[in-house]
Structure 1
Amino acid sequence: MNAAIEQAICNYVWQREPSNPATYQDLVGVALKSMPMIGDNDLTALLGRLIRAGKIEQFEDDERGTVYTRDC
């Protein structure tokens, strides 16, 4: 996987305010800018790696569904 995509996603998530976390759709847009042919499975795997590495955090929001924020 491209390190540029990982960095772009982290930068996007990290710059968001905790009260306005990134949604999966937001991250699809970020990933597609770096790698237009990225598939859903590849993006899901990438997000899993970033979560396990402690770079981002995933949680469920009642209004927005799955959201991503910086690891606090």
Structure 2
Amino acid sequence: MEINGFEYPKEEVVAALKKVGYRIVSHSFYHEEHIHGSRFIKHPYELECAVKGDQEPTEETYWAEVAKKEFEKPIVKPPLV
């Protein structure tokens, strides 16, 4: 994955997340597909989530998204003087 313009392997990013206090947990989510009338079919999928403390795993805590928020530094124009 790319962070701050550099490419990092998943293992290195996950290790860095663990170092700053995150736990990596696998969690099942469901995508509901609407079919005839009012029926739905649930399609399960697994995500590896990075959570801290008693935080619950959600789709927003997907490890790559958390890593971008945690390690991405904004590029700002430095002052000339």
Considering the TM-score relative to the shorter chain, is it more than 0.5? no
Q: What TM-score does the superposition give when structure 2 sets the normalisation length? A: 0.34
Greater CA radius of gyration, 1 or 2? 2
Higher relative contact order (CA 8 A, sep 6+): 1
Q: What TM-score does the superposition give when structure 1 sets the normalisation length? A: 0.37
